[in-house]
Amino acid sequence: MVKRIIQATEKEIKVPAGTKVLLWEDIGSFETKQKIPARRKFLIAENCIVEHIVIVHGKNQKAIKQTRHLELGRGSRLRSAEISLGAAKLEWQSNSRLADRADFTKQVLFYQSASDELQVQDNYVFTGLGARGQFSVSGVLSGAARARYFSDLAIKAGAQKTETRIDLKLFLLSKEAQGSLLPGLKIAANDVKAGHSASTFRLSAEELFYLSSRGLPEEQIKSLVIRSLVDNFTGHLSAATSRREVGKIFASYFPEQRQ
């Protein structure tokens, strides 16, 4: 699979019909000083196979705001992995439209700490017959971070045989962290399978006690939670090189995760 690195200032990315490509997108990287466009469009034509990795690590960024539009063409398959590693303020809206038999799988992992604020609005619109969408979002909040994650699955009239699902999971690792989840389903076709789930988790007193009794301080236990999510996330990336590179970014962000 050909790797294509998306440049910081690119506004429109076109993938011609029948292409196999790995799109690599690094937003707010430590090296990048160029201005990121407020809007970015992805046009994936018919019968493509695309892997798309998006990394947002805005440790040095005050605010990142972006609206993204994605058109996934008939019969195309897109595997997307989005990693967001904090920014003082991150506003992210993505609008995706899926044509007939398009197949979209997306995994999102975000980590917000200190007084970071995250607001995400993911809109997925199914317009064609027999499309499929599987979306999984895991978020970790520590410090006094705030997150609002909204996600809408809309199945238009005529988009029969659609199968889609979104799962939102939120881990709050501190008393001051707060999160809102709003997973919406809007269905105007009857021969569909659609679902969503949203859940928040905590480390139970028993789990904390068990791990503490093994000599692990609470901070390290929280690191282990993050690590398990990261491992789970990278495990889903298809290319070994992608797994290595994403692993490196995580390691640089969470030095305590290094072996």
Partner 1 sequence: MIDNIPEGHNSLWDSHNPSAYMKNTRRGLDEKLVRFISREKKEPTWMLERRLASLKIYEKMTLPDWGPDLNRLNLDLITYYARAADKPAQSWDDVPADIKETFNRLGIPQAEQSVLAGVGAQYESTVIYHSLKEQFKKLGVVFEDLDVALKTHEELVKKYFMQGIPPSLHKFAALHGAVWSGGTFLYIPRGVKIEAPLQAYFRMNAKGMGQFEHTLIIVEEEAQAHYIEGCSAPRYGIDSLHAGCVEIFVARGARFRYSSVESWSKDAYNLNTKRALVQADAHMEWVGGNFGSNVTMLYPCSVLLGEGASADHLGVAFANSGQIQDTGAKVIHVAPNTSSNVVMKSISKSGGRAIYRGLIDIGAKADNAVSSIKCDALILDDRSVSDTIPRLNVKNQSAVLAHEATAGQLSAEDIFYLRSRGLSEAQASATIVNGFIEPIVKELPLEYAVEMNRLVELEMENSVG
Give the binding site for partner 1 (CB under 8 A). 157-158, 160, 170, 172-175, 177-202
CA angle 18, 21, 25 (to 5 degrees): 140
**What is the closest distance, in whole angstroms, from the C-beta atom of residue 202 to partner 1 in the complex?**
5
The residue (of 42 and 149) whose beta carbon lies closer to partner 1 is 149
Element (H, E) at 223: helix 218-235
The residue (of 26 and 116) whose beta carbon lies closer to partner 1 is 116
The residue (of 189 and 211) whose beta carbon lies closer to partner 1 is 189
Strands 77-98 and 117-126: parallel
Tokens 């064609």 sit at which residue? 128
**What is the closest distance, in whole angstroms, from the C-beta atom of residue 178 to partner 1 in the complex?**
5
Distance CA 140, CA 27 (A): 20
The residue (of 114 and 188) whose beta carbon lies closer to partner 1 is 188
* Cα within 13 Å of Cα(16), Cβ side: 0
| Helix segments in the chain, DSSP class H | 205-213, 218-235, 240-253
**What is the closest distance, in whole angstroms, from the C-beta atom of residue 221 to partner 1 in the complex?**
13
The residue (of 18 and 158) whose beta carbon lies closer to partner 1 is 158
Element (H, E) at 230: helix 218-235
Distance CA 246, CA 235 (A): 10
**What is the closest distance, in whole angstroms, from the C-beta atom of residue 222 to partner 1 in the complex?**
11
Tokens 């709003």 sit at which residue? 182
**What is the closest distance, in whole angstroms, from the C-beta atom of residue 97 to partner 1 in the complex?**
19
Tokens representing 64 are 């990142």
- Is 144:174 a contact under the CB 8 Å cutoff? yes
The residue (of 14 and 186) whose beta carbon lies closer to partner 1 is 186
Alpha-carbon Rg for the chain in angstroms? 19
Other CB atoms within a 10 A radius of the CB of residue 49 amount to 17
**What is the closest distance, in whole angstroms, from the C-beta atom of residue 173 to partner 1 in the complex?**
7
- Is 87:63 a contact under the CB 8 Å cutoff? yes
Element (H, E) at 212: helix 205-213
The residue (of 38 and 188) whose beta carbon lies closer to partner 1 is 188
**What is the closest distance, in whole angstroms, from the C-beta atom of residue 130 to partner 1 in the complex?**
15
